[in-house]
A and B are shown apart, each in its own frame.
Chain A
Amino acid sequence: MTRQEGISIGAALAAHVALLAGLSLAWQRQMQMLPSPDDAVAVELVTIADAPRVPEPPQPSIAAAPQEAASAPAEAAPAPEPVQADAVPPPEPPRPRPEPRPTAAPLKAPASPLDTSSLASLIDKSLPKAPKQTLDTSKLAKDINAAAPARATIDPRAAATLAQAIRGQVAPCWNPPVGGRDVRRMTVIVSVRYGRDGRVIGLPQAGTPTGTTSANADYARAFAETARRAVLRCQPLKLPAELYELWQAVEINFDPDEMT
């Protein structure tokens, strides 16, 4: 290879490189995208203290891990025993099913996709009926007294009438978490103590919902809290004072089987 050949090969090579570079630049230009968004900025989780008045960011600290202040329903006192025990004293017929409730029929509507506003209006119309019926406590007491025998045992009819009155006053405040995967399988019992003024004494105790597993424990806790919230929101109850002995302690079983 002569020197001249060498030079021309070198020049050709250089020209090719330049051409390639130019081409790839052109290609890059053709491929050019709009400025891409930056990667999402990082967000770091830290624990926070009781006093937020901090000039400096709180130090991330495992020791100061947030403690659950609310008593989790799962830790609540064990749910009272099944209610069958109540039926021990005098021989008692099976607890009568409550009378057909005015709230039931309209609440079935949500099965089909409805728009919420029309749904709400349906429910709004239907619900006031129940509480209104129960407001006449003197009549209620009369009914119950008429039904109750002279002795101070719980007559099943009296208990059923009282239960219906409580249901009518508490159900409108229950907002169960609908749409959750496990909602239809869950029920929870809330134990409540009422004062003579119809107000809740202390914090009602929610038991562990049926159907709770390790996989849905968060959902079960939220579910139990909706039941406790219903009891706390709808008070004081308006119930016949002369029958206070019967309703001072109540176990309410929340079961959304008629929802959805």
Chain B
Amino acid sequence: MRLIPFMLALGLPAAVLAQAPLRVDINAGLMQPMPIAVPAFAPGNGGNTEAGTTTALGQRAAQVIAADLKSSGLFRPIDPAAYTSAVGLDEVVKPEFPAWRTIAAQALVTGTITANADGGITLACYAYDVFAGSEIARQGFVTTAAGWRRAAHKCADLVYARLTGESGYFDSRIVYVSETGPRTKRIKRLAIMDQDGAGHRFLTSGQNLVLTPRFAPEQQTITYMSFENNRPRVWLYTLGSGRQEAVGQFAAMTFAPRFSPDGQTLVFSMSVGGNADIYRFTLATRQTTRLTTGAGIDTAPSYSPDGSQIVFESDRGGSQQIYVMNADGSNQHRISFGDGRSASPVWSPRGDYIAFTRIGGGRFGIGVMRPDGGGERLLTNGYQDESPTWSPNGRVILFARSDRAGRSGLWSVDVSGLNERRLATPLDASDPAWSPLLP
């Protein structure tokens, strides 16, 4: 097009100029999940593993991947009935794109599962852009036979990240408080499960009331509040060993613990004479630093992802509202000014939003606001929605929802406010905490 002035100077006919590209502006599209095909992964060999044959594992892996992608609300896995013929080894790396186009698949995930000589497996994962007819990602995962689900989650994360441009969140876990029994004699146990509800296990026996579990960044440690020996205080629980340890030797009640992003520090509330303040506890030196001093209840501290600031809840102004301070306790300022009260703030791992519980009009809903308090949006409006926690990529919020009858469960919602869905738990559930991505 640089030639145009030159051509004008030569007096070339205008008809030539007419062939410059026509310009079209498109300002809106459709918000709808992307159709994606995830056929059963082909057996790389006829091997058998302690988790099943490679053929069976290939089918189950594809189901796990499709379920992960579907749960995000951004993908619509195509019913396998639409493509009855199995994808063989050759087609794993050379898909018949025209055939996938006819069933309107926009993306395709293929793969293989191979039994290794040491009893483990290799899951090979390939992703394709069907309409461009090109491969867009591939990765192999080697793990134990029992670890096939994790390999499948990692494959789903690879596909999600490549097609959305955001990091994945499927290879992660959730710890929460499992509840059962009548209201007056509620049994509360710590429980842990994979992000999709698989691998559910109880961590504590239910002898003592437990509340507010939170993962350490390295994920092998959970901090929570327990009424062990009728003394409410903050504990640490180590996964694997099952070791439990009280944090500090405080005479007063400690509660609402959370780790710093580097895992070196805990922040929690300590209540002395009805006045709760926020303290920082350095794990290596066991040193305690008081961060807030005002009258009233300061609680629910949560670090910004860079560790420089802490968001918390305080009733110092007369009702529960959300405040932000520097990590050393300086520059405390209120950021929530919406209707009603605001509580249980959590800073998003990607830093752009703070999720919180909005209380007003006899209802509890989950909302988000920017760290400066602007851009507030309510995402849910249940009878009692509370205790938000972020997916590792800051895209999805998991929360506890209770109904009038006192039944409670875990639900998730996309940060856009769409895709509200229930996460099944064996018993009633509250106080969820989402782990970072597993290594």
Q: Does B252 contact A (CB under 8 A)?
A: no
Q: Is A83 an interface residue when CB atoms closer than 8 A count as contact? A: yes
Chain B residues, CB < 8 A from A211: none
Evaluate contact between A41 and B147: CB separation under 8 angstroms: yes
- A210 interface residue per 8 A CB criterion: no
Among A154, A181, A257, the most chain B Cβ lie within 10 Å of the Cβ of A181
Give the tally of cross-chain contacts (CB within 8 A): 304
Known A-B contacts A33-B205, A181-B350, A251-B22; the reply to A233 vs B93 at CB < 8 A is: no
**B41's closest neighbor in chain A, by CB?**
A52
Docked-complex contact B19 and A249, CB < 8 angstroms = yes
- Contact pattern, A 167-195, Cβ under 8 Å of B = 1, otherwise 0: 10011111111111100000000010000
Assuming the contacts A114-B418, A151-B14, asked whether A253 and B28 have C-beta atoms less than 8 A apart, the reply is no
Enumerate chain A residues within 8 angstroms of B138, measured Cβ to Cβ: 48, 66
Cβ–Cβ contact A163 & B24, under 8 A: yes
> Number of contacting residues on A, CB 8 A?
109
A75 at interface, CB cutoff 8 A: no
B162 and A222 within 8 A (CB)? yes
The smallest beta-carbon distance between A42 and chain B, in angstroms, is 7
B20 x A219 contact (CB < 8 A): no
* Known contacts A69-B134, A216-B165, A222-B162; A119 and B26 CB within 8 A of each other: no
Chain B CB within 8 A of A135 CB: no
Question: Which secondary structure dominates chain A's binding surface?
Answer: loop
B180-206 to A contact mask, C-beta < 8 Å, 1/0: 000000000000100000010111110
> Are A229 and B132 touching (Cβ within 8 A)?
yes
Asked if B403 is at the interface of the complex by the 8 Å CB criterion, the answer is no
- Interface status of B56 (Cβ within 8 A of chain A): no
Chain B contacts of A226 at CB under 8 A?
29
Q: Which residues of A contact B438 (CB under 8 A)?
A: 40, 43
| A219–B166 CB distance below 8 A | yes
A153 lies within 8 A of chain B by Cβ: yes
The answer to whether B4 and A85 touch across the interface, beta carbons within 8 angstroms, is yes
A213 proximal to B (CB < 8 A): no
**Contact A177–B165 (Cβ < 8 Å):** yes
A-B contacts besides A113-B417, A175-B31, 14 pairs, CB < 8 Å: A36-B238, A46-B140, A47-B139, A52-B93, A57-B122, A86-B1, A86-B20, A113-B418, A116-B73, A174-B26, A174-B29, A245-B19, A247-B22, A260-B416
Residues of B within 8 A of A (CB): 1-2, 4-5, 8, 14-15, 17-32, 34, 42, 44-45, 73-74, 89, 92-93, 106, 112, 114, 116-117, 120, 122, 124-126, 129, 131-132, 134-144, 146-147, 150-151, 154, 161-166, 171, 173, 192, 199, 201-205, 219-220, 237-242, 244, 350, 352, 377-380, 395, 414-420, 438
List 25 interface pairs A-B (beta carbons < 8 Å), by A numbering.
A34-B201, A36-B240, A37-B201, A42-B144, A46-B139, A55-B45, A57-B122, A58-B140, A81-B2, A85-B4, A85-B20, A86-B22, A107-B28, A159-B22, A163-B22, A171-B26, A174-B26, A180-B164, A222-B164, A229-B129, A249-B21, A250-B24, A251-B24, A256-B27, A259-B29
